[in-house]
């Protein structure tokens, strides 16, 4: 599937729906491709969603981000390095203004 036009949160939600971490890896790649067009808040918000989704899929979320950042743009690698050092409560989707919704299927929605 081509994820190039999809929002990162929608790609991550597909990973949850299909229980497929390879889809989540694609979200990291897409974020890497787009990182230079994002402001810092957007990048961190997207990382929080990917991090949360990795945990939902049973992964060590910090490690998932680090391992899948090796081929990413330098700016994203730096953002990931800083993100994984945050306090756990500062990495949550709630802290970034998102929540999970199950209507009619799983998705992430901005809720501020």
User: Per the domain annotation, does 56 fall within a domain?
Assistant: yes
Number of domains in the chain: 1
Residue 61 in domain: yes
Q: Is residue 2 part of a domain?
A: no
Tell me if 3 is assigned to some domain: no
Write down the mean pLDDT value for the chain. Answer: 94
Whether the pLDDT of residue 103 is over 90: the answer is: no
Residue at token pair 């802290």: 95
What is the domain extent for residue 104? 8-110
> Is 35 inside a domain boundary?
yes
Rounded mean pLDDT of 101-108? 94
Q: Percentage of the chain with pLDDT > 90?
A: 78
- Whose tokens are 């949550």? That residue is 92
Q: Quick check: 60 pLDDT over 80?
A: yes
User: Within a domain: residue 64?
Assistant: yes
Q: Is residue 1 part of a domain?
A: no
Asked, for residue 69, whether it belongs to a domain, the answer is yes
**Quick check: 35 pLDDT over 90?**
no
The pLDDT score that the predictor gives to residue 84 is: 97
pLDDT at 19 over 90: yes
- pLDDT at residue 36, rounded to an integer: 83
Q: What pLDDT, on a 0 to 100 scale, did the predictor assign at position 39?
A: 82
Are 4 and 30 in contact, with CB atoms under 8 Å apart?
yes
User: Is the pTM higher than 0.85?
Assistant: yes
């Amino acid at each position: 599937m081509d994820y190039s036009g999809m929002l990162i949160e929608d790609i991550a939600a597909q990973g949850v729906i299909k229980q497929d971490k390879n889809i989540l890896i694609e979200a990291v790649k897409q974020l890497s491709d787009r990182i230079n067009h994002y402001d810092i808040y957007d990048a961190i918000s997207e990382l929080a969603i990917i991090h949360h989704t990795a945990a939902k899929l049973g992964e060590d979320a910090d490690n998932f981000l680090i391992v899948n950042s090796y081929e990413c743009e330098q700016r994203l690698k730096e953002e990931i390095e800083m993100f994984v050092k945050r306090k756990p409560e500062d990495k949550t989707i709630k802290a970034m203004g998102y929540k999970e919704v199950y209507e009619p299927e799983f998705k992430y929605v901005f809720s501020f």
